[in-house]
Amino acid sequence: MKRKISGKKALQNGPLESVFPGSTSKILDFLATFKDWDYSVSDIAKHSGISFKTALNEIKNLEQQGVVSRTRTVGKAIMYKLNLESKQGFYIDKLVFEIATKRAESKNQSHKRIKLKLK
């Protein structure tokens, strides 16, 4: 039986998720967008819109690849964040920013065309 996620997803459709659908993309979107803070696996799952078990497995894989790093322990919770000191983490962060910028520019152009048609 699947556990229903009670929290709200932080990003409805993140930049990476829009191009590469999947759990890893959801996690990376969340961590890259909110990179100034660290999060527990539970928080990452809740705000990425995935199950705890999936988040736990994906975080382990991302940590092994050096994309995310452990920052500290709070009680029993291990905190993680995007590892901007690794090449992978650095370029993932840049990719998220570039995709988000491109999407914003595209939406802006669409709104301009609609306004011109309405005049």
Q: What is the mean pLDDT of residues 10-22?
A: 85
Decide: helix, strand or coil at residue 93.
Answer: helix
Within a domain: 6: no
Check which CATH number belongs to the domain holding 27 and give it.
1.10.10.10
Domain that holds residue 55: 15-118
Which pLDDT tens digit goes with each residue over 32-89?
A: 999 999 999 999 999 999 999 999 999 999 999 999 999 999 999 999 999 999 999 9
Q: How many domains does the chain have?
A: 1
DSSP 14: -
Within a domain: 39: yes
DSSP 3: P
Write down the residue that tokens 């964040």 correspond to: 81
